[in-house]
Amino acid sequence: MSISKKVKTYLDKSSWIRKMFEEGIKLKKIYGEDKVYDLSLGNPDLPPPPKVRETLKKFAEDYRPELHRYMPNAGFPFVREVIAEKVKKEYEIDISSQEVILTCGAAGALNVIFKSLLNPGEEVVFPSPFFVEYFFYSENHQGIPKPIPTKSDFSLDFDELEKGITEKTKVVLINSPNNPTGQIYTEEEIKELAELLYQKSKKYNSTIYLVSDEPYRNLVFEDEKVPSIFKYYSNSIVAYSFSKELSLAGERIGFIAVSPEIKNKNELIDALILCNRILGFVNAPALAQRIVAECINEKVDVETYKRRRDILVEIIKKAGLNLVVPKGGFFAFPEVPIDDVEFCNLLKEEKILAVPGRGFGLSNHIRLSFCVDEKVIKGMEEGFIRASKRAMELKNV
Total Cβ atoms within 10 A of residue 321: 21
Mind spelling out the 3-state secondary structure of 97-133? HHHEEEECHHHHHHHHHHHHHCCCCCEEEEEECCCCH
Q: Quick check: 116 and 268 in contact, CB under 8 A?
A: yes
In the predicted structure, residue 13 carries a pLDDT above the cut 80: no
For the residues 179-198, what does the mean pLDDT come to?
98
Q: What is the pLDDT of residue 238?
A: 98
Q: What is the pLDDT of residue 25?
A: 78
Q: What is the pLDDT of residue 197?
A: 98
Of residues 397 and 387, the one with the higher pLDDT is 387
Q: What is the pLDDT of residue 194?
A: 98
In the predicted structure, residue 9 carries a pLDDT above the cut 80: no
Name the pLDDT band for 365 (thresholds 50, 70, 90).
very high
Of 221, 218, 379, 178, nearest to 309 by C-alpha is 221
Q: What is the pLDDT of residue 231?
A: 96
Residue 71 sits at φ, ψ, to 5 deg, of -135, 180
- The Cα-based distances of 62 to 49, 150, 362 in angstroms read 20, 51, 50
In the predicted structure, residue 319 carries a pLDDT above the cut 90: yes
Q: What is the pLDDT of residue 15?
A: 63
Say if strands 331-332 and 366-369 run parallel, antiparallel, or are unpaired.
antiparallel
Read off the pLDDT of residues 19-54 as tens digits, 9 standing for 90 and up.
777 777 788 888 888 889 999 988 899 999 999 999
Read off the pLDDT of residues 236-258 as tens digits, 9 standing for 90 and up.
999 999 999 999 999 999 999 99
Q: What is the C-alpha separation between 38 and 353, in angstroms, rounded?
A: 5
Read off the pLDDT of residues 131-169 as tens digits, 9 standing for 90 and up.
999 999 999 999 999 999 999 999 999 999 999 999 999
Q: What is the pLDDT of residue 1?
A: 60
For the residues 206-231, what does the mean pLDDT come to?
97
Q: What is the C-alpha separation between 233 and 87, in angstroms, rounded?
A: 16
Q: What is the C-alpha separation between 357 and 283, in angstroms, rounded?
A: 34
Read off the pLDDT of residues 268-291 as tens digits, 9 standing for 90 and up.
999 999 999 999 999 999 999 999
Q: What is the pLDDT of residue 204?
A: 98
Q: What is the pLDDT of the chain when averaged over all its residues?
A: 94
What would the DSSP string read from start to end of 183-227?
----HHHHHHHHHHHHHHHHHHTS--EEEEEETTTT-BSTT--PP
Q: What is the C-alpha separation between 117 and 268, in angstroms, rounded?
A: 8
Amino acid at 127: P
Name the pLDDT band for 263 (thresholds 50, 70, 90).
very high
In the predicted structure, residue 18 carries a pLDDT above the cut 80: no
What domains are there in the chain, each with its CATH number? 5-48+301-396 (3.90.1150.10), 70-294 (3.40.640.10)
For the residues 105-109, what does the mean pLDDT come to?
97
In the predicted structure, residue 16 carries a pLDDT above the cut 90: no
Q: What is the pLDDT of residue 14?
A: 65
Contacts of residue 69, Cβ cutoff 8 Å, sequence gap at least 6: 286
